[in-house]
Amino acid sequence: MGKFQYTPDKDQRVHEEGAIRLICQAFQSHENGLPEWLKNSSDAYVGDEAPEAKRVAVLIFDYGRRGVTPSISCLDFCGMTSARIENNFRVWADPEAAIRGISNAAMIQGGHGNGGKCYMTQMFAEYSLLHTVKNNKGNRYGVASGSVKFGYIPDPEQGRDFSVPGLRDELEQVLKPIRSSISGLPKAAVEVLKLASGFTLITGVGPKGYSDRIPVQELVANLQEHPQMIRTLEMCKVYVVVNGDLFNRGGPLTLPAIVPIPGAEKPRVIPIPVSLKDPVTGREVSTTDGDKLPPGNLTLKTSAVRMSYSKRGRHNIVYKAKSGYIGYVSVSELDIQSPYRDRIYGECFLENLEAFKQNERARLANSPLTRAIEEFISDYIQAYAKEFEARERRQYNQEEKNAISKINEALDRWKNRFLNDLLQGLWGAGEGPGPDPHPRLPTGKPVKLELSLSHHKAGLGVALRPVLKFFDDAGRRVRAVPFRWISEDNNVAMVDEDLMVINTFSPGHTTIYAELIKGKLCSNKAPLEVARIQDITLSPRDLQISVGSRHKLTAVCQLATGEKTDDVYLIWTESNPNVARVSSSGLVFGFAPGETEITAGDDRCLAKEPCMLRVVESEGKGPGDQKGKGYPLVKVSGEFDVDPETHEYVHFSREDPPVAQRPQDVDRNIWWINSASPLARLYLDKSKNYGYESREWRMYHLERYIDVIVQIALTNGPTEKESLSASDWIMKWGAQVAEIQVAAASDLSEFIATGDLPVA
């Protein structure tokens, strides 16, 4: 093949606005935007070679008031010249924007010159501007909402290089519209101002997503946990002012301290080999670019408490290269199977990763090297976690293991029988009025009515039940008071006041809401479309499930408009309810071996072909092997039961819940009683006068089964689409627990008292 020759075009055309909007997609939140502003302030101080004492940044939040729109601002005491604005700030996608002309560029966090501008263009409903002064010259530069083209305010003649004889007076003037003043700034900021030659105030007016009040507490908490803020908070003092008042008693934001695991206080440093294997291609990848760059290292640190909640923002491996921070990967996203995964974090320094830094400086670009590095990190975290597992693991003799397994098998059989009866009762509960399983709500004066519908499209001649809740001024749910239902078009649908169901009559649109009989209080309005259905197709048409398992059927409706949708409320029926039952959303549950036909439709249209459902006995090897196959499987973690697929023991930590599921267990319908939880360890400890033969352990073991049964009952009944508040869920949980405890006390009294195992 001959030498390739071509003539490059003299110009390279790019759709500027389209490219910029594409670049900015990662910065469509205040949580990701504010760190960019503060990082830019930190870099500005580095560029000015400011000593640590002079590195102060202030976030200013103004909730707004009558005639004044809310705003978010960031103030530093560096300042920018018009040359800096025009040659650096306004240039998009410039990797040298932050370091051009800077002697100590290695200290700059940098980026591509996009993040701060993206935040200004996307997250403010009115406009964003920077008011900056440097060496007695000022500039006003900004952008209107919806645009990506910045410019001087109001024009270059008036907004560029205007004279500023008094820096303090200028700052006082620009702080006033955002409900702030120099006297209201932190003392450290006032002291820095005395020696400063400039300042920059970036303000976004009309922060999107905050109609009533800016959630300062949440934003500040996010800042302190955001991976990109680590270096900024180490290098600068960042203060917050809210509506003119100092936040946090005027103290700077700090990185929350992470207490290490006892015995693992010292970080573990692992050298990165000069070559690693790409897990996708299997080929060797150089980590040093063929020895052109130095090798790197992985540093792992530990936390005494799980980081998946309060320290979630720090639960990362932070990537660093020659330019400093270049991105991160959450440890929870790595392939690590250990409860101690949630207590390990750290950083990876490798210069060869510089080229894979992405615009938002989060996860690195996909490549053979980044894939190999992630696998290397995962392997070492897995190995490190196993060391802690071994330290905590408790040894049990074979007699204890056998006894616990026998107890578990017997309780599992009782659970399956009880679940079958319980779920049949739940699925039959909709047949009549029946008693209300919930405790009665307290009385109170409602100030809010909340209406919800399971579907916003329905067939003709169906009846769906609305859910209406009453809340008092403290946000607590209270007992209903007299009200009436209203449909804006009774010809389309109307609420039956006696049966509390919405009956649909003809195709069209209406809105359903409720209003109090005394007073003018109304609920939210719920739209409802009664659709004209031309065809219904069920999927799958042939299905086999085991006794005790469930499966979701789909009904795709072809509407008269040509639209196809599977979110239409229909009438679902089964030909033999003793074999299986079907809910209003198409979820079927198998109760007994046999066959039944499942179909769905409305008064005008029925599915052409029903689903033929066969329910068979659970396979002898037991449940838990496939999604929806048989009853849920409950096992005991630690050295008692093995994973049915890997045949390996499964370990949880003392901080995991008493009944736990790993991600891979959810679809397999497996639940684990965590033998490492504090009470489980206590009740299995013979030296504490307990042990597997103790009444306390039997009660604890049984209570964990009740936990499992309740969760299954509340998520696999006919109302699985029901939307419940936290308080409603707690009430429903309590009622279900009470019912199961009554059955357990009756069926398992001998087991509880003497340890005699229940008979199948």
User: pLDDT of 153-182, one tens digit each?
Assistant: 999 999 999 999 999 999 999 999 999 999
What are the pLDDT digits (tens) for 318-336? 888 876 777 889 898 898 8
Round to whole Å and give the CA distance between 160 and 174. 16
Tell which residue, 110, 44, 111, 46, has the closest CA to residue 74: 44
Question: Contact, 481 vs 510, CB < 8 A?
Answer: no
pLDDT (0 to 100) of residue 618? 66
Tell which residue, 490, 480, 414, 427, has the closest CA to residue 758: 414
Residue 239 or residue 645, greater confidence: 239
pLDDT (0 to 100) of residue 627? 41
The answer on pLDDT for 489 being more than 60 is: yes
Burial class of residue 99 (count of CB atoms within 10 Å of its CB; 0-12, 13-18, 19+): buried
Residue 310 or residue 391, greater confidence: 391
Question: Whose structure tokens read 């009683």?
Answer: 673
Q: What's the Cα-to-Cα distance from 505 to each of 95, 273, 530, rounded to whole Å?
A: 63, 72, 8
pLDDT (0 to 100) of residue 622? 42
pLDDT (0 to 100) of residue 199? 96
pLDDT (0 to 100) of residue 135? 92
Tell which residue, 633, 630, 603, has the closest CA to residue 617: 630
In order of start, what are the domains of the chain with their CATH numbers?
Answer: 16-250 (3.30.565.10), 268-392 (no CATH), 625-754 (no CATH)
pLDDT (0 to 100) of residue 21? 59
Tell me the mean pLDDT in the region 87-115.
58
The answer on pLDDT for 431 being more than 70 is: no
Helices (H), 534-684: 663-666, 678-683
Q: In this predicted structure, which of 140-144, 491-495, 660-664, 686-690 has the lowest mean pLDDT?
A: 660-664
Residue 383 or residue 98, greater confidence: 383
Round to whole Å and give the CA distance between 381 and 387. 10
pLDDT (0 to 100) of residue 651? 86
Tell me the mean pLDDT in the region 470-482.
86
Tell me what percent of the residues of the chain surpass a pLDDT of 70.
Answer: 85
The answer on pLDDT for 221 being more than 90 is: no
pLDDT (0 to 100) of residue 256? 76
pLDDT (0 to 100) of residue 16? 61
pLDDT (0 to 100) of residue 244? 92
Q: In this predicted structure, which of 128-142, 351-365, 489-503, 725-739 has the lowest mean pLDDT?
A: 725-739
pLDDT (0 to 100) of residue 134? 94
Residue 618 or residue 147, greater confidence: 147
With cut-offs at 50, 70 and 90, classify the pLDDT of residue 213: confident
Quick one: how far is CA 83 from the chain centroid?
A: 43
The answer on pLDDT for 646 being more than 90 is: no
The sign of the torsion formed by the CA atoms of 531, 534, 539, 542 equals positive
Tell me what percent of the residues of the chain surpass a pLDDT of 90.
Answer: 34
pLDDT (0 to 100) of residue 350? 94
With cut-offs at 50, 70 and 90, classify the pLDDT of residue 626: very low
What are the pLDDT digits (tens) for 648-705? 888 888 888 899 888 788 777 888 999 989 999 899 888 888 988 899 998 999 898 8
With cut-offs at 50, 70 and 90, classify the pLDDT of residue 406: confident
pLDDT (0 to 100) of residue 755? 83
Round to whole Å and give the CA distance between 329 and 346. 10
Round to whole Å and give the CA distance between 151 and 53. 33
pLDDT (0 to 100) of residue 706? 87
Tell me the mean pLDDT in the region 399-405.
85
pLDDT (0 to 100) of residue 373? 94
Mean pLDDT of the chain: 83
The two three-digit tokens of residue 222, written as one number? 């996010």
Q: What's the Cα-to-Cα distance from 666 to each of 589, 624, 627, 632, 660, rounded to whole Å?
A: 17, 9, 8, 10, 10
pLDDT (0 to 100) of residue 760? 55
Round to whole Å and give the CA distance between 675 and 665. 17
b/e burial code for range 147-160 (CB count within 10 A of at least 16 → b): ebebbbbeeeeebb
Tell me the one-letter amino acid at 386: K
pLDDT (0 to 100) of residue 109? 58
pLDDT (0 to 100) of residue 669? 80
What are the pLDDT digits (tens) for 693-742? 899 998 999 898 888 888 777 666 555 555 555 555 565 666 667 778 87
Q: What's the Cα-to-Cα distance from 63 to each of 68, 399, 459, rounded to whole Å?
A: 9, 66, 46
Q: What's the Cα-to-Cα distance from 488 to each of 502, 511, 513, rounded to whole Å?
A: 13, 5, 9
pLDDT (0 to 100) of residue 31? 86
The arrangement of strands across the sheet holding 564-565 comes to 533-539, 554-559, 564-565
What are the pLDDT digits (tens) for 542-591? 988 887 777 888 999 999 888 889 889 999 889 888 888 888 778 888 88
The answer on pLDDT for 619 being more than 60 is: no
Q: How many CB atoms lie within 10 A of CB 243?
A: 18
pLDDT (0 to 100) of residue 437? 44
